[in-house]
Structure 1
Amino acid sequence: MTHNTFINKKLVFNKVYEQNWKALYVFAFNILRDKQSAEDIIQEIFIDFWLRMGETDIQNFTAYLFQAVRNQCAKKLKSKKLTAFELEIFEEALQLIEDEQTIEFSKEILMEEVKQKAHEILPKKCLDIFTLRFYDNMTIKEIAEQKSLSISTVENQINKALKLLKAGNNYYIKLLGILIVCS
């Protein structure tokens, strides 16, 4: 690599970094809800981006970076203790969410919209358990103990709630996917 090529690469990298790092961090943080994990993913993405800059033909740097962050967040979440159904919802949400929409949503707005929909369509027992899990951030085990229910009953009620909300509208799949990972 010549000196001029290196300088051009560095200028392009710095411009892309300055234009995208904050939005990428917010995107990763909104998915993972963990500052350190979000920072680590952004750092890894930009290291990889630097290494690949001359080797691959990237047409849209922003789209490429958002896709890379999305993929790394999905890998990270697979190691979280999500139920199989929660993970399925999240993966569907990742396919449906437009990068720009995710950045614009705030957790509070998403939670309120899902809460309203949940109150409209969920049976009382199902709603109570859903609220404890996603709004009071209780674990399945804690809910089972508090309600004197088996863990499988709590899991079934959560899955029932998610299926009912999912059946309503694709928009709610997006909201649920974000809500699940933000909990």
Structure 2
Amino acid sequence: MAHNTFIDKKSVFDSVYTENWKALYAFAYNILQDKESSEDILQEIFIDFWVRMEETEIQNFRAYLYQAIRNQCAKKLKNKKLTPVEITILEQSAQLAEEQEQNDFPKEEIIKEVRQKAQQILPEKCYEIFVLRFYEHMNISDIASFKNVSTSTVENQINKALKLLKQQNINYIKLLALLIAAAHHS
């Protein structure tokens, strides 16, 4: 009897893994922008999933796995100094990616599109700081020195830019999450 239980557990696990690993990896990578970290999280999640399959009854495997990925990514990102606005955007992006399960959206095109939109809607100084932070990957103190302003001015301008862009639409939230992850990865 115990042998059959193991076979059933293994077949369920194999099926869930095969159906979900690519989307889960893309989900983690979209948040973290780091191949190794995304792979590590995926491995941890599936090991944990294997263990929990016996302990608890998971109603919706996919929802459980996405939530686990989101939690692990959040833990990883806490070590990076993110502003509250950046954290909110990353969380919203993660939620959208889970809901829509869009594994690949045209990242480069959207990055270009957001830069154009930012140029249209942001005040000039705000736009310049936004570009330095997210496209040139300069840190906040370097931008402050470069622009000869305080770090709080730079942070305020970045938050203003993110809030204005976030109001645009769903793709901008996803893109902003990519930009934030990339800026904090470098």
Whole-angstrom distance in 1 between the partners of 2:99 and 2:169: 19
1:4-53 Cα offsets, whole Å, 9 max, x none, are 11112112212222222222122211211122211111111001110111
Aligned position for 1:15: 15
Tell me the TM-score normalised to structure 1 length.
Answer: 0.87
97 and 15 in structure 1: CA distance in 2 versus 1, 3 angstrom threshold: closer
**Unmatched runs of 5 consecutive residues or more in structure 1:** none
1:35 equivalent in structure 2: 35
Do the aligned residues in 2 keep the contact of 1:9 with 1:53 (CA within 8 Å)? yes
- Between the aligned residues of both structures, percent identity stands at 64
2:144 maps to 144
Q: Distance in 1 between matches of 2:20 and 2:169?
A: 31
Match of 2:25? 25
Q: 1:70–1:94: 8 Å Cα contact kept in structure 2?
A: yes
Aligned CA distance change for structure 1 residues 93 and 23 (closer, same or farther; 3 Å): closer
Identify the residue that residue 163 of structure 1 maps to in structure 2. Answer: 163
Cross-structure match for 2:3: 3
> 1:122 maps to which residue?
122
1:131 corresponds to: 131
For residues 152-171 of structure 1, give each alpha carbon's deviation from its aligned partner in whole angstroms, at most 9, with x where no partner exists. 11111111111221233455
Assess if the C-alpha contact under 8 Å between 1:66 and 1:99 holds in 2: no
The corresponding residue for 2:70 is 70
Whether the 8 Å CA contact 2:135–2:179 is kept in 1: the answer is: no
Deviations 1:43-98 (A, max 9, x none): 11001110111333333322321221112112211221112221222223333444
In the other structure, the counterpart of 2:88 is 88
Contact 2:31 2:90 in 1 (8 A): no
Correspondence for 1:57: 57
TM score, norm. by length of structure 2:
0.86
- Per the TM alignment, residue 121 of structure 1 is displaced from its structure 2 partner at its CA by 0.3
- 1:99 Cα deviation after fit: 4.5
Alpha-carbon separation, structure 2, partners of 1:163 and 1:13:
41
Task: Name the CA distance, whole Å, in 2 between partners of 1:2 and 1:132.
Answer: 60
